[in-house]
Amino acid sequence: MILTAACGAVGDLSEVPSKKPEKPASTSASACDVAGDDFAGDVELARCLTESFWAKEFQAAGGTYQPVQDFIAYDAKSGPVCGGEKALPENAFYCPDGHFIAYDATWLRAMYDQMGDGAVYVVIPHEFGHAVQAQLENDFSYNVEQELQADCYAGATLGGLINADLIQAEEGDDAELLTNLEAAGDPTDAWWEPDAHGTPEKRQEAFATGFDKGVASC
């Protein structure tokens, strides 16, 4: 099927991820024993599979992936501090100061309930994309470049997991992914703003590019 956005076709995602792994990984470094059959399971499975994917990518390139030090669920009143700034509600983020990922569990759960499990498989791989950027010491002139690359990395992660037969498609998953990417996009294309993430169309296109063409395309 063709994944389309308002601007037209942005990529060919003939398969998109389901919340359940088709088979376990073959090595202990990538084995994910959790079942993605509810919100908590999907969150943990997305984390495990994403880190497994990047460990293999780094190894293939002659490097070593450093797993995040912590993976924190928080609410609006108890978010962790990153660089002296308290976590914002309705947000997920990677913190280079401590090398951890944190997410507002109430917010992510609401998206999961309203838009499907695609929310988890967009948000979590995206934040791990930022953890990868930190390890690669990528340099960006604008924030939007960093965010769109993280979207591309997220698409590459899901495409890679499907190609490895670690996850499989369920009917309607493509629509869930589009909906979540659309909801996360900026209302205007003010790409120069310090917090710009990209319009819905640009985020969908970046994700689809990674999905279709892999990490090297990002």
pLDDT digits (tens, 9 = 90+) for 100-159: 999 999 999 998 998 888 889 889 999 999 999 999 987 888 889 999 999 999 999 998
Specify if 12 maps to a domain.
no
Specify if 77 maps to a domain.
yes
CA distances from 178 to 39, 89, 108, 129, 161 (A): 19, 23, 16, 18, 18
Specify if 175 maps to a domain.
yes
Specify if 19 maps to a domain.
no
Specify the residue for token string 């591309």.
152
- HEC string of the chain equals CEEEECCEEEEECCCCCCCCECCCCCCCCCCCCCCCCCHHHHHHHHHHHHHHHHHHHHHHCCCCCCCCCEEEEECCCCCCEECCEECCCCCEEEECCCCEEEEEHHHHHHHHHHHCCHHHHHHHHHHHHHHHHHHHCCCCCCHHHHHHHHHHHHHHHHHHHHHCCCECCCCCHHHHHHHHHHHHCCCCCCCCCCCCCCCHHHHHHHHHHHHHHCHHHC
Judge residue 105's burial from the number of C-beta atoms within 10 Å of its C-beta, 0-12 exposed, 13-18 middle, 19 or more buried.
middle
Specify if 30 maps to a domain.
no
The domain of 116 spans 38-217
Number of domains in the chain: 1
Specify if 31 maps to a domain.
no
Specify if 28 maps to a domain.
no
Specify if 114 maps to a domain.
yes
CA distances from 10 to 31, 125, 143, 179 (A): 32, 19, 22, 14
Predicted confidence (pLDDT) per residue in 34-84, tens digit: 777 889 999 999 999 999 999 999 999 999 999 999 999 999 788 899 999
Strand partners, 86: 81
Q: How many residues does the chain have?
A: 218
Predicted confidence (pLDDT) per residue in 155-176, tens digit: 999 989 988 888 876 766 677 7
